[in-house]
Structure 1
Amino acid sequence: MKDSPARFADLAGTRLYRRNIFAVTGLPVDAQGRAVRRQRARLDARLAVEETWPGDDGTPAPDGYRKEEVRLAFEEFQDPRGRLVDELLWYWRDADLGCGCDPVTHLRHDDAVERHSRAIEAETGAIDLTEAERTGLWDEAAACWEDLLDSPDLRAHIARRLTDLADPRLDGYSSDDFLPGFPRLLVSPFAELAGDRAVRPRLAAACDPWMTCPAFAAALHDTFEEPVTEAVERVGQGLRLAAEEHHADRNWDALQLLGDRVLPAFGELEPLKPFASESQYEELAHTVAVAVNNVALSICDDSRPSRGQKDKAVDLLETAYEIAPERDEDLIHQNLLALYEHGATGSTGARQNPGGEMRTAECAGCMFGMAALIGGVIAGATAGWSWAVGIIIGGFVLMGVFSS
């Protein structure tokens, strides 16, 4: 199998369809030779007197295309490999592609392009749709593309087009040189859109139907690797600062850090859970829940904090109970019941379970585990997941030593 065409990298992102050479030039996907040259001459003349032209009727380019964009698009016709990628990502309509496909395959393909391009344009603000309408388009696009990529008709279509384009530079190429790169290209807009932290929860939910297809799922895990890493690092930084305040007996400052930094950062990670390691997520939830538990109990057992501060501690402990993994639920629940019973004042009796608040050594072990998780994520992104696994396992071993 040869390397995938460089055009996959060129098109990746939210301009996946806007950059398409057929969108920019307005040519049908079966255009070749003389038809391409005539359209180029026509647009050169038009753009000599006009700033832009609108492109294909189906193109989502409200501002049109400038002369330089059109020139670059025509130059892409010189590479038959790139041209085939653009062809597969644009409307086939009633073009005579000589592929012998069932007409239903062509209709299914155009439906996929339509829904996918509209979903992307809605996210970038080019068209105005409600969140429900956007979600519907993402769902439909995922179903259409998954159905098409699973169909033997698409493989046969590419094989026939490689023959019909009759270019020596395509000799030795097969469908397998094009199909593997498509899933990553189709989900590439998510990577760009996920740069906005405010929309990540909704985008992550929109990925649900794409995650059912293994090819898309693998690409999406890579796509959301950086947002997951960022969220884990923010949680870890907040935990370290809160631990310093807690160990210095500045428990109210520690609680504020947990409430203002750690829990919101963990909340940002929660919708990204499908893209994180299950064990990594559970260990992080454990670390956060135990940190809140320990600080809340320290505040409620202390005579110095005000009633409002103790109420705040109970509120955060309730939040910790909601995110705690199963192994921590009973302990935190018992602590909450004790705090409710004693009004969160004086000696609460909350430590009726061994380790209602973790021992100092356990806290140290917990921090080793936290550092291992963060280091593992960073190592996975930079040096490969074999390094990540080694770092995480080593950190957990140290955590076990301290905890025991």
Structure 2
Amino acid sequence: MKESPARFADLAGLRLYRRNIFAVTGLPVAAQGPAVRRHRQRLDARLAVEETWAGDAAAPAPDGYRREEVRYAFEEFQDPRRRLVDELLWFWRDADLGCGCAPATHEQHDEAVRVHSQAIEAETGGTGPRGDGPNRSWRAAATAWASVLENPDLRGHIAHRITALADPRLDGYSPDDFLAGVPGLLLSPFGELAADRSARPRLAEVSAGWSKYPVFATPLPDVFENTVEQSVDRLKDALRTAGERHQAGEHADALAALEQRVLPAYAEFESLKGFVSQSRSEEMAHTVTVALNNVALGVCEAGLQKPFRSTLIEVMEHASRIAPRRDKAQIDQNLAAVRLGRAGAGAAQQLKPSECAGCVVLLLAIVGGVIGGITGGPAWAVGIIVGGFVLAGMFAS
């Protein structure tokens, strides 16, 4: 069983370089056999009387490493599958690896490690640059790592290291088995950084710079998936609460749920728009717009617009601000009715979340039917259009 991805998960996040076994132990990437054992014995003796040791000179760990961390790193070192992942993410320097790479390949790799580590440290309050420094370092890291991963020498380098380590546990492995997880690992710090809401607009801009490179474009959305899904779940839960109270005729409670839960949850989701597809972002905006509109109008229809007038206007103004184009005209009309105090008299209309989707499906079916008729004949046209009406009916129901 190929286990290298397990090491990708262990290293993922802001401690990507701090956890690296070569950073922790201070061993060069070419170290093997007796040299590793002797170094471990020296460190065991040292850490028996000292609390920490500094690790590699380039290790981003200003407080050093404790005995338990060093011991764990040496244990990881014993597995060549895990070791090889750490080799890819640490400085090769002038180690004689016998891989036959051009010197420029190793220099390019080490520069990528340096600027990427610098970007992470700048974000976490380490020794990296301040001001616009993190952004510059992120851009430099994206360019450097994209060049490294696209360099054909890299696969030859890994193939040689698999042979040089000469361990049966590497039998059946190819360079791609190790390279497959590297782009996601390099992007993994963004997932942790996105937990800071104030950093999200800048992170969206920075990560967009990484997405310009094909090697990073595919795994990038997965980096933010957990953060986005947690936000969506909170929003759906808030909408469910408001909807249940609205359906039960508990209009004041439904309005309170909008103010206290739905609007804050949607603000949280909005801060993640840079990491969400446009279609999903628009659909969530539509769902929230419908909820705001219908709860507000339910309050009006219950004859409660006077005591809640200011809140109703605020809710409808929010709905107008976030409404997708398909909802905008109706929402603005309803907002005007609320402002004039006429919403309870039937001047405003409630919306159904499925109506717009059904209309879109029907429109696409008609267009598809025309094209199908031209290319495949009348039978195709009829089949597509009838299918569209069926789907539209499903949405409307």
Cα contact 1:310–1:345 (8 A) shared by 2: no
Equivalent residue runs for 1:91-106 within 5 Å: 91-106=91-106
Are the equivalent residues in 1 in contact too, given 2:22–2:86 (CA < 8 A)? yes
Q: Map residues 106-121 of structure 1 onto 2, 5 A cutoff.
A: 106-121=106-121
Corresponding residue number in structure 2 for 1:347:
342
Q: Which residue of 2 aligns with 1:85?
A: 85
Could you give the per-residue CA deviations for residues 369-399 of structure 1, whole angstroms, max 9, x where no partner exists? 9xxxxxxxxxxxxxxxxxxxxxxxxxxx999
Distance 1:278-1:65 versus aligned 2 partners, 3 A rule: same
Which residue of 2 is the match for residue 390 of structure 1? none
- Which residue in 2 is equivalent to 1:375? none
Deviations 1:68-91 (A, max 9, x none): 222232233322222221111101
Residues 2-401 of structure 1 mapped to structure 2, 5 A cutoff:
4=4, 6-127=6-127, 130=130, 132-195=132-195, 199=199, 202-273=202-273, 275-276=275-276, 278-299=278-299, 304-306=304-306, 309-338=308-337, 344-347=339-342, 356-358=349-351, 362=352, 401=394
Task: Determine if contact 2:118/2:128 at 8 Å carries over to the other structure.
Answer: no
Cα distance, 1:15 vs structure 2: 2.1
Deviation at 1:110? 1.7
Matches of 1:80 and 1:236 in 2, distance apart?
45
> Residues 186-213 of structure 1, C-alpha deviation per residue, up to 9 Å, x if partnerless?
2233344445566555544443223334
1:149–1:400 CA distance, 2 compared to 1 (3 A): farther
Q: CA distance change for structure 1 residues 169 and 345 in 2, over 3 Å: closer, same or farther? A: closer
Aligned-partner Cα distance in 1 for 2:176–2:162: 12
Q: Percent identity?
A: 59
Q: Tell me how far apart the structure 1 counterparts of residues 202 and 231 of structure 2 sit (CA, whole Å).
A: 16
The one-letter code of the counterpart of 1:295 is V
Letter in 2 for 1:9: A
Distance across 1 between alignment mates of 2:41 and 2:218? 44
Alpha-carbon contact 1:338-1:350 (below 8 Å) kept: no
Q: How far is 1:25 from its partner?
A: 1.5
1:121–1:127: 8 Å Cα contact kept in structure 2?
yes
Structure 1 position 59, deviation (Å): 0.5
Shift of 1:215: 4.6
Is the partner of 1:63 in helix, strand or coil?
A: coil
Distance in 2 of aligned mates of 1:88 and 1:53: 24
What CA distance in whole angstroms lies between the structure 1 residues aligned with 2:163 and 2:302?
80
Say what the alpha-carbon RMSD is for the aligned residues.
Answer: 3.4
Q: Which amino acid aligns with 1:83?
A: R
Q: Distance in 1 between matches of 2:392 and 2:250?
A: 25
Structure 1, unaligned runs of 5 or more: 370-396
Letter in 1 for 2:50: E
Q: C-alpha distance in 2, partners of 1:294/1:70? A: 60
Cα separation, partners in 2 of 1:214 and 1:200, compared to 1, 3 Å:
same
The equivalent residue for 2:381 is none
Q: Which amino acid aligns with 2:42?
A: R
Number of aligned residues: 365
- Using the alignment, how far apart are the partners of 2:246 and 2:186 within structure 1? 47
Shift of 1:136: 3.0
Distance 2:273 2:59 in 1: 35
User: After superposition, what is the alpha-carbon deviation per residue over 1:294-348, rounded to whole angstroms, capped at 9, x for unaligned?
Assistant: 33345567764447x4233223322222222221122223333555xxxx14326
Question: Is the contact made by 2:105 and 2:153 (CA closer than 8 Å) also made in structure 1?
Answer: yes
The range that moved more, 125-134 or 66-75, is 125-134
Q: Residue 30 of structure 1 contacts residue 95 of structure 1 at CA under 8 Å; is this kept in 2?
A: yes
Counterpart amino acid of residue 357 in structure 1: Q
CA distance 1:201–1:268, change in 2 (3 Å): farther
Distance 1:59 1:195 in 2: 25
Q: Is the 8 A contact 1:335 1:350 kept in 2?
A: no
2:386 maps to: none
Q: SS of the counterpart of 2:95?
A: coil
**Distance in structure 2 (CA, Å) of the matches to 1:291 and 1:118:** 45
Higher mean Cα deviation, 275-284 or 106-115?
275-284
The whole-number CA distance in structure 1 between the counterparts of 2:303 and 2:173 is: 76
The code of the aligned residue for 2:335 comes to L
Relative distance call for 1:242 and 1:130 in structure 2 (3 A) is farther
- Which ranges of structure 2 fall in alignment gaps of 5 or more residues? 359-389
Check whether the contact 2:122–2:133 (CA below 8 A) recurs between aligned residues: no
